[in-house]
Structure 1
Amino acid sequence: MKRAYRYRFYPTPDQMENLAKTFGCVRYVYNRALAERHRAWSQEQRRISHAETDLMLTGWKRDPDTLWLAEPSKGPLQAALRNLQTAYVNFWGKRAGYPMFKRKGKTNDAATYFRNCFTFRDGRLKLAKQAAPLRIVWSRPFPEGAVPSRVTVSRNSRGQYHVSILVDCPIEALPAAGGQVGVDVGITSLVTLSTGERIANPRYERTDRVRLVRARRELSRKKKGSANRAKARLKVARIHGRIADRRRDHLHKLS
């Protein structure tokens, strides 16, 4: 099965500049391809295929007005077109809504690199058109000998950078336990097992939820486009991140 390992990394100033350009180009290519496909259907009642958008990308990179599309690696731009095609397939299959335009500052920036656009040797990951490998914090062990097939770098609203490395992991069958354990969900405790063991309820999340509601209420009162609204958005994102981190740590203790 395929499994993704996500880590935080700290880019150098040059890498930050390269990633900023890449994120912007990915957003532009996705939005422009979406606009072309929407126009073709609304005006000509025809569907534009993924292969056609790929040819359009080649023309955009040669256009004097958009020569800057050739500055970042071609891989993330092609991946953006694949993501758009997947969004349309899910829409046609009634598994999702109509694809939406990506707005700067409203969605997390992300770029996907396939195997020919990065190198991974001895625990050092280097992206195409970057001089140095990423400074990754290996917060959990990476499978020894695993060969990444895809890498996705992202930047959230708090300015934090993360990298998700996709690898193929074999599934090993676990030995049969031969026993049964009953689980009862409670109020004072999270769960109670039939063996008598009790797992405490993480009451801290209740406090964080109250803070999150207050932060969202403050955000809704701020004027759109103002600096105070940007600060309020960061506060909401920080609380969201704290809740996710605490939940992950709690689940790790349970396992």
Structure 2
Amino acid sequence: MSTHVKRAFKYRFYPTDAQTAELSRTFGCVRKVYNMALAARTEAWARQERVSYHQTSAMLTAWKKTEELAYLNEVSSVPLQQALRHLQTAFTHFFGKRARYPRFKSRKTSRRSAEYTTSAFRFHDGKLTLAKMTEPLAVVWSRPLPGGAKPSTVTVSQDAVGRWFVSLLCEDPGVKPLPATGQAVGVDVGLDHLLTLSTGEKIANPRHERRDRAALAREQRRLAKKEEGSANRARARLKVAKIYARIADRRRDTLHKITTRLVRENQTIVIEDLTVRNMVKNHRLARAI
């Protein structure tokens, strides 16, 4: 059995018009199947019955044979099956009291994504081709994959700004345990500062955070004044989404750098056990928390 760590390698890509249409259709079918299976399981739950993944898989086969849902046959079956597996995982977490009851996917707010397993993609000589597609994706390989990498799953997604991403899950033999340091550090999450360490070091909030927030508030005010359903509102919504994406990208980058440094420098990291869910009810402090 392999002891290698699996890592996801995420890249931007630029689909052709045909690939965009195919992926958009797939996203819609994934959402439809997930919601229909969730509805079926919810109805059963109300009758105090449980529905298994295999039962939802049988439902999917039956749905495809109906005239109303025949369009589900037009996309790769693998992302649809994966949607049912993800729903099963969500219910497992719910029954294990680790998560809330699964929620329906919304056309407007839910993440647009589809997951492909090895039978539904081909990766050869640095070219990735998905099921139902004739051409490989135009991926920007911004960093190399591990030598001889064979992705086990490929997830395609599109964010609110319209950027396309592909994430390849691969075994990475290059990941090795860090040498033991004997160092320990306590981390306190603050409001004035991002983090305060037990060493006395204070890590400030990113400088650009306040500037980005001001720009976001300005564009949100403009969006609120636009007429529902108008082209101007669509443009304003995209501006707001772009600022949100920039804030999320910068925050992710900052936190990744800080956590990587803390893990490399310390053997033990102690974090205060906060009841975050209750704390964020204070709307004045929610964003800082």
- Fold match, TM over 0.5? yes
* Identity value in percent: 54
Task: Specify whether residues 136 and 179 from structure 1 end up closer, same or farther in structure 2 by C-alpha distance, changes over 3 A only.
Answer: same
Distance 1:51 1:253 in 2: 42
C-alpha contact 2:8 2:170 (8 A) present in aligned 1: yes
Task: Specify whether residues 19 and 206 from structure 1 end up closer, same or farther in structure 2 by C-alpha distance, changes over 3 A only.
Answer: same
C-alpha contact 2:158 2:164 (8 A) present in aligned 1: yes
1:233 to 232, 237, 248: 237
Tell me the TM-score normalized by structure 2: 0.74
Task: Specify whether residues 229 and 101 from structure 1 end up closer, same or farther in structure 2 by C-alpha distance, changes over 3 A only.
Answer: farther
Tell me the TM-score normalized by structure 1: 0.84
1:206-238: CA deviation from partner (whole Å, max 9, x where unpaired): 211221233344445656555444333322220
How do 1:191-202 residues align onto structure 2 when only pairs under 5 Å count?
202=206
The alpha-carbon deviation at position 180 of structure 1 amounts to: 10
Task: Give the SS at the match of 2:168.
Answer: strand
Which residue of the partner structure matches residue 12 of structure 1? 16
Which residue of the partner structure matches residue 206 of structure 1? 210
How do 1:1-255 residues align onto structure 2 when only pairs under 5 Å count?
1-42=5-46, 44-170=47-173, 171-175=175-179, 202-219=206-223, 225-247=229-251
Task: Specify whether residues 176 and 85 from structure 1 end up closer, same or farther in structure 2 by C-alpha distance, changes over 3 A only.
Answer: closer
RMSD, aligned CA:
3.2
Task: Give the SS at the match of 1:165.
Answer: strand
Distance 1:98 1:251 in 2: 29
| Paired positions, count | 252
Task: Specify whether residues 207 and 68 from structure 1 end up closer, same or farther in structure 2 by C-alpha distance, changes over 3 A only.
Answer: same
Distance 1:98 1:39 in 2: 13
Task: Give the SS at the match of 1:64.
Answer: coil
Task: Specify whether residues 229 and 86 from structure 1 end up closer, same or farther in structure 2 by C-alpha distance, changes over 3 A only.
Answer: farther
Task: Give the SS at the match of 2:123.
Answer: strand
1:56-80: CA deviation from partner (whole Å, max 9, x where unpaired): 0001111122111011111000001
C-alpha contact 1:105 1:157 (8 A) present in aligned 2: no
Task: Give the SS at the match of 1:100.
Answer: coil
Structure 2 unaligned spans of 5+? 262-289
Task: Specify whether residues 229 and 59 from structure 1 end up closer, same or farther in structure 2 by C-alpha distance, changes over 3 A only.
Answer: same
